[in-house]
Amino acid sequence: MRRSFINARVDEMQALCEKHGVALPAFARWGEKDFRAAPDASAFIAARGLGWNVVEFRPGAFATDGLTLFTLRMGDWRDLETKRGRLYAEKAIMSLDGQRAPHHYHVVKTEDIVNRGGARFVVELFKVDSLGEPTKERFRVVKDVSVLDLGAGDQVRLEPGESLTLEPYVAHAFWAEGGTALAGEVSLANDDRTDNYFLPPLAPPGPIEEDAPKRRVTVRDYRRI
């Protein structure tokens, strides 16, 4: 993935957030100099995985298998045992028309997927067992204030303002339908490195080709700052 491409996707998502009245925090506009000038804040951001992430789930297939995300807040998942502290997280997600996040599930995290604005947002679901194997089991999910009884492979369409609650071991894929969607995730604090189980597993991301100045820092850059 090229740096110029990452810059363009970040600009596109910032414009989408402004269009739908979703204000991102000040560090969304930080460049590398800002990170280096605020080492304590930068360490906090990196430890929590906050900030920008432009994801390609299949190499070279961002248009169909990718997302642009910004993590606004993330508690420390290690505090979950104490039941005290900042036990929640929030992300903003830009999904282009037909752009898909592949099926994945969580073991710890419960999350709400929210359509913040734009196009319809589609979520496809099925249950997995304790080993992560898909099942034919029926299950229930909450859409806003309604309980839905679903079977494997059912889809739920979210209009702007609607949300869907996903509990552990409910595998889900999602995509925008009919245009670009600004989605959100409100969830339990979690460690994205250890509580995202993709079906099938993803290959590690390739290196970033530095063909342009780094206007915004992403989560993949933190180790080098």
Q: Note the pLDDT of residue 185.
A: 98
Q: How far apart are CA 183 and CA 112, in angstroms?
A: 10
The CATH architecture that domain 3-224 belongs to is Sandwich (2.60)
User: Residues of the chain whose pLDDT is less than 70?
Assistant: none
d(CA 72, CA 5): 22
- Residue 187 class from Cβ within 10 Å (0-12 exposed, 13-18 middle, 19+ buried)? buried
pLDDT, residue 225, reads 82
Report the alpha-carbon angle 197-181-146, nearest 5. 70
Amino acid at position 201, single letter: P
Instruction: Provide the CB-side half-sphere exposure for 201 (13 A, CA).
Output: 6
105 with 171: CB under 8 angstroms?
A: yes
Give the domain ranges of the chain.
Answer: 3-224
Give the predicted TM-score (pTM) of the model: 0.95
